[in-house]
């Protein structure tokens, strides 16, 4: 099975380094959105009928830009829209921080999600990151989620400080998605609890139609 992995805002494909080894019996494609240089090289191909796995903003990106048909969608700490659930001031302050001192703003963000050590040598694309924040502040892919026509698995942490529990429950808990909670995995579940994520993803994948 083809697996497509898409990272979130402020990161690169290195966020999958602990999860991907659990799928060495599948064809893995890492998509690089260009926010931060220094991760694994992105794939050139985006196969159809793949199981698409996104983290955070990567889920919304897949809903907006992912090829169809999609065999299934896995959300890890993800969302179809964030600006409905985050106070306007939060995103506005981040955009202002990116304007004043992009590196300092990113270091603050990375620290907040527990990734200070991993990102020390990352080279940011400030323009791309500002553009990504604009997408987060304006995109709503709820219609694309409703029309996806593919099974959905959502993995989330109860202590996620970026995509809060009430937002996650509203997005994934009231529809047809299969939602699983981890009590303390934080926003970077694929790094903090890769085996837990892999177990749920493999079970989900085994149940998909060929």
Q: Is pTM, for the whole model, over 0.85? A: yes
CATH topology of domain 2-206: Rossmann fold (3.40.50)
Domain edges within the chain? 2-206
Q: Over the stretch 181-194, which tens digit does the pLDDT of each residue have?
A: 999 999 999 999 99
Q: Is the pLDDT of residue 45 over 80?
A: no
For the chain, count helices (H), then strands (E): 8, 8
Q: Cα(36)–Cα(98) distance, rounded to whole angstroms? A: 14
Q: Over the stretch 148-178, which tens digit does the pLDDT of each residue have?
A: 999 999 999 999 999 999 999 999 998 789 9
Q: Which two tokens stand for residue 64?
A: 């907006």
Taking the alpha carbons at both ends of the chain, their separation in whole angstroms is 9
Q: How confident is the model at residue 132 (pLDDT cuts 50, 70, 90)?
A: very high
Q: How confident is the model at residue 88 (pLDDT cuts 50, 70, 90)?
A: confident
């Amino acid at each position: 099975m083809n697996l497509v992995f898409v990272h979130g805002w402020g990161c690169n494909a290195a966020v999958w380094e602990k999860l991907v080894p659990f799928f060495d019996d599948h064809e893995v494609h890492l998509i690089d959105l260009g926010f931060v240089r220094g991760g694994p090289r992105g794939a050139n191909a985006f196969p159809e009928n793949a199981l698409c796995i996104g983290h955070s903003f990567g889920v919304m990106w897949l809903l907006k830009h992912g090829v169809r048909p999609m065999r299934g969608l896995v959300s890890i700490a993800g969302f179809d829209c964030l600006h409905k659930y985050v106070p306007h001031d939060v995103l506005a302050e981040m955009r202002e921080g990116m304007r004043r001192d992009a590196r300092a703003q990113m270091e603050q963000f990375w620290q907040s999600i527990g990734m200070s050590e991993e990102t020390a040598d990352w080279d940011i694309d400030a323009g791309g990151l500002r553009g990504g924040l604009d997408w987060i502040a304006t995109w709503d892919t709820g219609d694309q989620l409703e029309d996806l026509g593919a099974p959905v698995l959502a993995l989330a942490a109860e202590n996620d400080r970026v995509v809060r529990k009430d937002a996650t429950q509203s997005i994934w808990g009231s529809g047809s998605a299969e939602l699983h909670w981890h009590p303390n995995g934080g926003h970077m579940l694929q790094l903090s609890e890769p085996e837990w994520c892999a177990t749920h993803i493999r079970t989900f994948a085994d149940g998909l139609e060929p």
